[in-house]
Amino acid sequence: MVKIGILGVGTVGASVANILEANAAIIEARAGKQIVVKRGVVKNLSKERGVSITLSDDPMEVINDPEIDIVVELMGGVEEPYTLVKRALQKGKAVVTANKALLAYHRYALQEIAGDIPLMYEASTAGGIPIIGALRTGLSANHIESIQGIMNGTCNYMLTKMINEGAQYDAILKEAQELGYAEADPTFDVGGFDASHKLLILASIAYGIDAKPEDILIEGIENITQTDVAFAKEFGYEIKLLGIAKKVGEGVELRVHATMIPQESMIAKVDGVMNAVTVVGDRVGETMYYGPGAGGDATASAVISDIVDIVRGNQGPMLGYKKGLESGLKLLSRDEIVTQYYLRLEVADESGVLANITSTLGEFGISIESMLQKPTSDEAVAKLLFTTHRCKESEMQEAITALGKLDVVRGEIAMMRIEK
Ligand code: HSE
């Protein structure tokens, strides 16, 4: 028999305990051993959890219990779980975590501490989708060319409603919070940080890149308006918050941002709270993984897959590479990113203004692909919407600064990247 201790019996922890009980026979048949939860730890013992396991409020009762073989960390946060996971590993216990923030900051340190002790994290990225297993094992024959994913259900839910139903940003964020999709602090979702944690985890497995959120380009969906949505529809695009990892020469671009993508692409059709990740391998070609990225049972399904793998004795390097043999690819500076761009700006509606704008873009080597002008409620002001041909991020940022200094430009300039 294998005994489990759960740190954090919230929605996911309760689902883990309940599924291990309800599906005990099939899980035992697959793992080869009976798996039982010995105890769980919660902060507030007076809250009803809907589980039949013994609960305490002291994590050390799990860490110090010699009968517990596997510690499941579902607490959230970064430093407290880091300390507890370290202690569990130092005691020789295997660990399963769903904690993307913990891994975004401490995955390489934890790999070092774990050594040969299993530390698994399938539920950390895209919830119930087995993307970690797919990358670590399923695609291990391949050089990974790219990963593109909808990795935040809250943003996808909001964008879907904004695009399909014309919903306003604030109202739809409130709805996503009420439905329980959003993080405790929803700026983690809408600001792109949650997706960046997941992207960094995937980039480690795909490329062996040791980067932190601060090292990569992260933008959210906060500035998207119905003007952008209407433009995207007219020009055949969907808007998605994507996590993108792309091999370019000897470097890797890592970025999270709202992206216009062709309506006919598979990932553009992923709506609502669902997640999806496409991975292109040099031998397998394009593969796609779709499913629920959040929710108690879906996330618990991934947690239990890790427990089963550990009980079976399936091991391997935590982050997919034997230490010292990583791909050698380096994180590219965000300035080096090359892509197409969409720009939205408000300008004085006077003769010569358009020429002024296009010549400023031209000064930075930026060539316009398409353009639309729309009136505003102020007849002296027009909205200009552009898409550009491919250019460097640094050129685009410099051009936006220069445009912002022109007398004819009114207010903020909005920009979105386009991936085809
Ligand atoms: N807030 C996250 C999301 C939950 O919306 O996808 C899963 O990480």
What is the CA(34)–ligand 1 centre distance, in A? 31
Q: Which amino acid is at 420?
A: K
**Does the beta carbon of 294 lie inside 6 Å of ligand 1?**
yes
CA of 242 from ligand 1 middle (Å) equals: 13
Contact (Cβ atoms closer than 8 angstroms) between residue 185 and residue 247? no
- Ligand 1 contacts CB of residue 154 (under 6 A): yes
- 198 is annotated as an active-site residue: yes
Q: Does residue 309 have its Cβ closer than 6 Å to ligand 1? A: no
Decide if 189 contacts 240 (C-beta within 8 A). no
Q: From the CA of 183, give the closest atom in ligand 1.
A: 1
In this structure, the residue with its CA closest to atom 4 of ligand 1 is 294
- Out of 100, 198, 246, 247, the active site residue is 198
Evaluate: CB of 98 within 6 angstroms of ligand 1. Answer: no
Which of 125, 183, 241, 271, when mutated, tests ligand 1's pocket best, judged by the most ligand atoms within 8 Å of its CB?
183
Residue 254 makes CB contacts below 8 A (sequence gap 6+) with: 199, 200, 203, 209, 211, 215, 216, 217, 244, 245, 331, 332
Task: Give 290: exposed, middle or buried? Use CB within 10 Å, 0-12, 13-18, 19+.
Answer: middle
Q: Is 127 in the pocket of ligand 1 (CB under 6 A)?
A: yes
Gap between the Cα atoms of 332 and 253, Å rounded? 5
15 sits in which H/E element: helix 11-22
Residues 63 and 92: their CA atoms lie apart, in Å, by 10
pLDDT in tens, the chain (420 residues): 999 999 999 999 999 999 999 999 999 999 999 999 999 999 999 898 888 899 999 999 999 999 999 999 999 999 999 999 999 999 999 999 999 999 999 999 999 999 999 999 999 999 999 999 999 999 999 999 999 999 999 999 999 999 999 998 889 999 988 888 888 789 999 999 999 999 999 999 999 999 999 999 999 999 999 999 999 999 999 999 999 999 999 999 999 999 999 999 999 999 999 999 999 999 999 999 999 998 999 999 999 999 999 999 988 899 999 888 888 899 999 999 999 999 999 999 999 999 999 999 999 999 999 999 999 999 999 999 999 999 999 999 999 999 999 999 998 999 999 999
Tell me if 293 CB under 6 Å of ligand 1: yes
Gap between the Cα atoms of 243 and 254, Å rounded = 8
Determine the distance separating the centroid of ligand 1 and the alpha carbon of 273, expressed in angstroms. 9
Reported pTM: 0.96
Radius of gyration of the chain (CA): 24
What is the set of domains in the chain, with CATH numbers?
A: 2-128+297-312 (3.40.50.720), 134-291+326-331 (3.30.360.10), 335-418 (3.30.70.260)
